[in-house]
Amino acid sequence: MIARPREPKGTPRQRALIEITTLVTEAPWRVHRVAELDDDALLHTIALSSYFGHLNRIADAVAVPLDFTVRHAPPATDPTVPALAPAPSHRAGEPVLPLARRPATAAAIEAWHAHVFDRDAPLSRDERAHLQGWVAAWLGDPRRAAPAGTSDADLRRLAELVTLAPWQLSDEVFAPLRARGWDDAKLFDAVVTASTAGMISRLHVALVAVG
Amino acid sequence: MGLGYVDHEHSTGVLREIYERMLARPMPPAYKPRHGGVAGIITAHALDPLLIPKVFGTSTTLNGAGPLTWPERELVNATTSRLNQCLY
């Protein structure tokens, strides 16, 4: 069922969960209601998939080994798999299913967002604003725009891979930033900032797209 | 390849305190790592210790609550990981 998420099997509700999860992960601007999931279940699916994508990105960037007992070993990562396509346009509008329907989740994400974005180091606030704006654009979120002015191509490349192809993260991607003196803490901050921005934009765009 | 991280054994100060709090959380046996220590996905956040309770506090609101059932939540998580080609 999970090995080929694009050929879903299982019950109609399971297939609906896989369909929505796939859209949230690959094209949140295409999320739609499904008969098998009521609004609360749909919101939970969207929020959970958005959140778990952050864990995936951190695991990929840090390359932490799997330390759980699993019945089926995951396949080896294929870095040749193409990146996800960016959003074709902004998805304007307000969330049809506001996250406030899950107040504990909304409060937790707000606290997380504040921790990542309301600080001056290791990344500067300007670097955070750039990351947030780029990520928002790739995911179709109209609420943020990268500041005007010269952008950091190496940082942008890192953010693009975190957002659209985390399986392609490698030491080669970190190398130009390391060459400038960025230590692991600053690189991690960049990954976390991009991943957090991605989770929040992905969640917002999907909740707007539900329609 | 990858960024550095600090496991429980080598952690000190604030990071050690946070790891201890994470270990004290009630957790289904299936979520406990083989080594019995702090799960790798938590130690993967070691470079920003104060982020750990924010990220995993969010997890509690999503993985520890409905309306999706536990198997359904696992299906969503595993599908997301498969699509992102992630071990986790």
Backbone angles phi, psi at A173, to 5 degrees: -70, -35
Per-residue pLDDT at A99: 97
> What does each of the 211 residues of chain A score in pLDDT, given as a tens digit?
555 666 667 999 999 999 999 999 999 999 999 999 999 999 999 999 999 999 999 999 998 777 766 666 667 788 889 999 999 999 999 998 999 999 999 999 999 999 999 999 999 999 999 999 999 999 999 999 888 877 899 999 999 999 999 999 999 999 999 999 999 999 999 999 999 999 999 999 999 999 8
CA dihedral B75, B76, B79, B80 (to 10 degrees): -150
Note whether A105 contacts B61, CB cutoff 8 Å. yes
Note whether B63 contacts A53, CB cutoff 8 Å. no
Q: Do B46 and B11 touch, CB atoms closer than 8 A?
A: yes
Whether the predicted interface score ipTM is above 0.90? yes
Q: Do B42 and B56 touch, CB atoms closer than 8 A?
A: yes
Among candidates B68, B81, B87 on the partner chain, residue whose Cβ is nearest the Cβ of A52: B81
Backbone angles phi, psi at A62, to 5 degrees: -85, -20
Contacts of B78 in chain A (CB under 8 A): 2
Q: Do A101 and A40 touch, CB atoms closer than 8 A?
A: yes
Token pair of B37 as six digits: 């220590």
Note whether A192 contacts B40, CB cutoff 8 Å. no
User: What DSSP line would sit under A52-102, residue for residue?
Assistant: HHHHHHHHHHHTPPP-S--SSPPPPP-TTSPPPPPPSS---S--SS-GGGS
Mean pLDDT, chain B, integer: 90
Output DSSP code: residue A147. Answer: P
Note whether A18 contacts B79, CB cutoff 8 Å. yes
Burial A118-133 (b: 16+ CB within 10 A, else e): eeeebbeeebbbbbbb
Looking at per-residue confidence, does A77 or B55 come out higher?
A: B55
pTM, 2 dp: 0.94
Note whether A189 contacts B48, CB cutoff 8 Å. yes
What are the sequence ranges of the domains in chain B? 8-83
Whether residue A209 lies within 8 A of chain B, CB to CB, comes out as no
CA dihedral B60, B63, B64, B66 (to 10 degrees): 130
Whether residue A117 lies within 8 A of chain B, CB to CB, comes out as no
